[in-house]
Amino acid sequence: MFYGCTGEAVQLVAQKEDDEIVITCLTPVGFQMKWIFFDIKEDTFKWENIRSTDNGITWDIKARAENIYRINERS
């Protein structure tokens, strides 16, 4: 469950699909929405936020982040 800044609650489910992690929004919000984490390495990864307004027939990229660095907290 995710609570947005306006107080709305949406149900999310995360699944591993091949070498990616896909988070799918299960709450109807007028369109389908997913976040895909890919090219996952030890210290970097990339993600995309995609949306579909035609029941998953086509998907549009709404946001993409590349070379996100994870901080290694192991010392």
Written as one string, the DSSP assignment of 20-67 is EEEEEE-S-SSSEEEEEEES--SSEEEEEEEEESSTTSS-EEEEEEEE
Give pLDDT, residue 72: 66
Give pLDDT, residue 28: 76
Q: Which amino acid is at 9?
A: A
Task: Evaluate whether 52 touches 26 at the Cβ level (below 8 Å).
Answer: no
Confidence of residue 68 (pLDDT cuts 50, 70, 90): confident
- The residue length of the chain stands at 75
pLDDT digits (tens, 9 = 90+) for 14-67: 999 999 999 998 877 788 899 999 999 888 899 999 999 998 999 999 999 987
- Per-residue DSSP letter, 71: P
Rounded to two decimals, what is the model's pTM?
0.77
Domain residue extents for the chain: 13-69
